[in-house]
Amino acid sequence: MIKRVAPLGVSALLCLSLFSACQQGQKADLLVYNATVYTVNEGFDKAQAFAVKEGKILEVGSSEALRKKYQAAEEVDAHGKPVYPGLIDAHAHFYGYAGNQREADLTGTTSFAEVVQRLQAHQKNNPQAAWLTGRGWDQNDWQVKQFPTKDTLDQLFPNLPVIIERVDGHASLANQKALDLGGVTPQTTITGGKVEVKNGKLTGILVDKAADQVVAKIPAPSAAELTRALKKAEQNIFEVGLTTVVDAGLSKYAVNLIDSLQKKGELNLRVYAMLTPSQENKDHYFKTGPYTTNKLNVRSFKVYGDGALGSRGACLIHPYSDRPTESGFLLETVQEYKDLAAQMYEHNFQMNTHAIGDSANRLILQIYGDNLKGKNDRRWRVEHAQVVNPTDVPLFGKFSILPSVQPTHATSDMYWAGERLGMDRVKHAYAFKALLQQNNMIPLGSDFPVEHINPLYGFHSAVARQDAKNYPIGGFQMENALSREEALKGTTIWAAYANFEEKVKGSIEPGKMADFVILDQDIMTIKPEAIRNVKVLSTYLGGKKMYSRN
């Protein structure tokens, strides 16, 4: 006898369908599991896995739970490796770094003779170039720690204009041909700059704004040349685990070029743009207001308060210890800074001011305070904040001003900073811990190409206060070292906060952009001397792989 089975009802079919869907798992685009995930959430919790959908973090949890729950189009077994939020450089020069790809690389030169050799090699490889340019020399790394002169360049390149920037971008050496084209003479005076003259003759050294009228004569690269350079620079940046870069000091043209390339998919790097306070930029952006896409954020201006310590352009309260007749200088008038602050406040733009010397820091903090009045959420920043008089440090907290610092500046400058400042004043320099305590956060950057683009170098400098050779033993002024947790926050969530972006990036949490990096070793646990050797295995932006070591 054959027993007939009644057909399933609609409700039964629906239940079976739902059960089948549950068995298959919820859909995700990417699932990372078997990892040591540093979420950098409020509790600084660790996890094993996370799911990604449509470019955002869907859920964070254990490998077992998420692999059961989600059916992902792509799965990544991290094999226990550490995963961190995408690293953010809170102060850099992406556009400038890209442009430097076309110039002679003078970083790491140990003498002026080596500088000349590199210039000759570059000129030989680029014989059609109308100018010979380069960047990266630092006289403090030479046996003769003095600014070079133009004599050799005049002899070797009498008919080719040459100008080469110091590593910090605040001093340049130009030959006579370049000086003539720029109209620079021994009688030239520049507000916010210095034309060096000895025995009535030009040495070729131009400090800060003094170089502007020479640089203005260099032919601008084409959009195609810039595009190639930006794409190459972006790949270098992804290779070191950066997913967002704060680009300090952009023209409207540069912003529009980056925006157009991002929209066409030719550039993927996320950029927080600081505009130069040019009249063109102010006229346009004060009228239109901040501009934001998922890759570009334009809501701040970069202002220069003073120069650099290495070129003695940093503005100090008391004279330089190694040159008692000089105290540095401001790059604008005091009234100009007051006017800019009032304009930024009125139009609701973030003001980010370069201040290195203690006099420049004091002035900028006071001008900020006159506008901000007290605690606020404007998030105005002082970029570098290198030398701050102890009596002025509390102003950061009083007016909610963020100190945006670059840890590798401390370990690059420590060899000679004491000579510039004297042993008492140098104790008030690179005071990261004291600055952090004002607002319980400190965004960290590199200032590349002034320093190397690798953020792990900055992480190491912040926690160990040592250079690449782990010098000095015991660290430089360790009372201002940061903990590893603070250093990681400084390159993730605190950097995001400084950009008004902490709700969309800076940690691995549901709803945030799926920007993350996988390293081959855990920088939170390995010995400090091993940190600079850690390699990036993969860099992801919005859940998409931008770089893979293998």
Q: Do 205 and 234 belong together in one domain?
A: no
Domain end among 167, 183, 215: 215
Residues 6 or more apart from 416 whose CB is under 8 A from it?
A: 140, 145, 310
Q: Do 194 and 292 belong together in one domain?
A: no
For residue 312, CA distances in Å to 168, 206, 307 come to 11, 12, 7
- Indicate whether 305 belongs to any domain: yes
> Collapsing DSSP states into helix, strand and coil, what is residue 316?
coil
Domain of 251, CATH number, reads 3.20.20.140
Q: Do 146 and 162 belong together in one domain?
A: yes
Boundaries of domain holding 157: 103-215
Beta strands in 232-295 (DSSP E): 242-250, 270-275, 291-292
- Does the bond joining 277 to the residue before it have cis omega, within 30 degrees of 0? no
Provide the domain count of the chain.
3
pLDDT digits (tens, 9 = 90+) for 3-59: 333 444 444 433 333 333 444 579 999 999 999 999 999 999 999 999 999 999 999
pLDDT digits (tens, 9 = 90+) for 331-373: 999 999 999 999 999 999 999 999 999 999 999 999 999 999 9
- Indicate whether 225 belongs to any domain: yes
- Indicate whether 109 belongs to any domain: yes
Separation of alpha carbons 338 and 488, rounded Å: 35
- Indicate whether 125 belongs to any domain: yes
Return the pLDDT at 11.
44
Domain end among 182, 215, 248: 215
Separation of alpha carbons 246 and 90, rounded Å: 5
pLDDT digits (tens, 9 = 90+) for 503-513: 999 999 999 99
Q: Do 407 and 532 belong together in one domain?
A: yes
Separation of alpha carbons 531 and 527, rounded Å: 7
> For the ranges 159-168, 228-237, 491-500, which has the lowest average pLDDT?
159-168
Helices (H) and strands (E) in the chain, counts: 19, 24
- Indicate whether 24 belongs to any domain: yes
Query: Which helix (H) or strand (E) is 463 found in, with range?
Result: helix 455-464
Residue among 369, 371, 370, 364 nearest 387 (CA): 364
- DSSP annotation of 430 reads S
Which pLDDT band holds residue 168 (cuts at 50, 70, 90)?
confident
Secondary structure percentages of the chain, helix, strand, coil, to 5? 35, 25, 40
Q: Do 197 and 255 belong together in one domain?
A: no
Domain end among 151, 184, 215: 215
- Indicate whether 5 belongs to any domain: no
Q: Do 396 and 500 belong together in one domain?
A: yes
Q: Hey, what are 458's tokens? A: 């900055």
Separation of alpha carbons 477 and 113, rounded Å: 34
- Indicate whether 3 belongs to any domain: no
Q: Do 455 and 517 belong together in one domain?
A: yes
Domain of 59, CATH number, reads 2.30.40.10
Domain of 177, CATH number, reads 3.10.310.70
Residue 266 CB neighbours (<10 A):
12
pLDDT digits (tens, 9 = 90+) for 113-132: 999 999 999 999 989 889 99
For the sheet with 36-38, list strands across it: 46-47, 36-38, 82-85, 516-519, 536-541, 544-548
Interhelix angle for 252-263 vs 223-239, to 10°?
70
Q: Do 122 and 175 belong together in one domain?
A: yes
pLDDT digits (tens, 9 = 90+) for 227-279: 999 999 999 999 999 999 999 999 999 999 999 999 999 999 999 999 999 99
Query: Which helix (H) or strand (E) is 333 found in, with range?
Result: none
- Indicate whether 2 belongs to any domain: no
Q: Hey, what are 281's tokens? A: 């930029």
Q: Do 306 and 400 belong together in one domain?
A: yes
Residue 280 CB neighbours (<10 A):
12
Separation of alpha carbons 370 and 376, rounded Å: 13
Q: What is the mean pLDDT of the chain?
A: 93
Is 245 within 8 Å of 94 (Cβ atoms)? yes
Q: What angle do CA 345, 346, 348 make, to 5 degrees?
A: 60
Separation of alpha carbons 276 and 282, rounded Å: 9
Separation of alpha carbons 513 and 297, rounded Å: 15
Residues 6 or more apart from 243 whose CB is under 8 A from it?
A: 86, 87, 88, 269, 270, 505, 515, 516, 517, 539, 540, 541, 546
Separation of alpha carbons 509 and 337, rounded Å: 39
Q: Do 357 and 483 belong together in one domain?
A: yes
Is 166 within 8 Å of 172 (Cβ atoms)? yes
Which pLDDT band holds residue 72 (cuts at 50, 70, 90)?
very high
pLDDT (average), residues 478-482:
98
Q: Do 185 and 231 belong together in one domain?
A: no
Share of the chain above pLDDT 70, in %: 96
Cα 534 to its chain centre, rounded Å, is: 20
pLDDT digits (tens, 9 = 90+) for 129-158: 899 999 888 898 898 888 999 999 999 999
pLDDT digits (tens, 9 = 90+) for 174-224: 999 999 999 999 999 888 889 999 999 999 999 988 999 999 998 888 899
Q: Do 207 and 225 belong together in one domain?
A: no
Cα 387 to its chain centre, rounded Å, is: 19
Return the pLDDT at 369.
98
Residue among 214, 149, 155, 207 nearest 179 (CA): 214
